[in-house]
Amino acid sequence: MTVGPLTWPGLRALTDGDQKSFGYHDSDGWHYKVAVDLRSGASVTLTIGAEQRAKAGLEYGRAFGSTPTPAVTFNACPARPTVFVGSFFVAGDGRACVPVDVRADGAASRRVVISFFSGPCPAA
């Protein structure tokens, strides 16, 4: 899935299938490793939609075991694309349609809805 200068490679594969192939479960919920590819020089802020913040969060640039955050900003290297490794967290059974607001380079936010093993989600 690509939104402006940001690409989540393989994200659509999390729509259905075997959760264990894409993440791991602990006592709080599921952690799905999802890299972020960012075009050189870009700055992007991701924010989990308010309606899902009690269930979902972002785990990029945080220590293992820390509390997921509702928002994170990525700043790519000026001369080359940059990859950020991290994960999405989804509480409970790890199945949800999670709205994410993507704000790139100071432009207006664009909302996308990501399915974590919930089948097709309604568009934003």
CATH number of 2-116: 2.60.40
Q: To 5 degrees, how large is the angle CA 13–CA 73–CA 103?
A: 75
Local structure of 63: helix, strand or coil: coil
Q: Structure pTM?
A: 0.90
Q: Please give the C-alpha separations between residue 5 and each of 41, 61, 105, 107, 120, in angstroms, as whole numbers.
A: 9, 19, 9, 12, 24
Q: What is the pLDDT of residue 106?
A: 84
Q: What is the pLDDT of residue 16?
A: 87
Select from 122, 112, 121 the least CA-distant residue to 34.
112
- Going residue by residue through the chain, which has 124 residues, state the pLDDT in tens, using 9 for 90 and above: 999 999 999 888 899 888 888 889 988 899 999 999 999 999 999 999 999 999 999 998 866 667 899 999 999 999 999 999 999 999 999 999 999 999 998 899 999 999 999 999 887 6
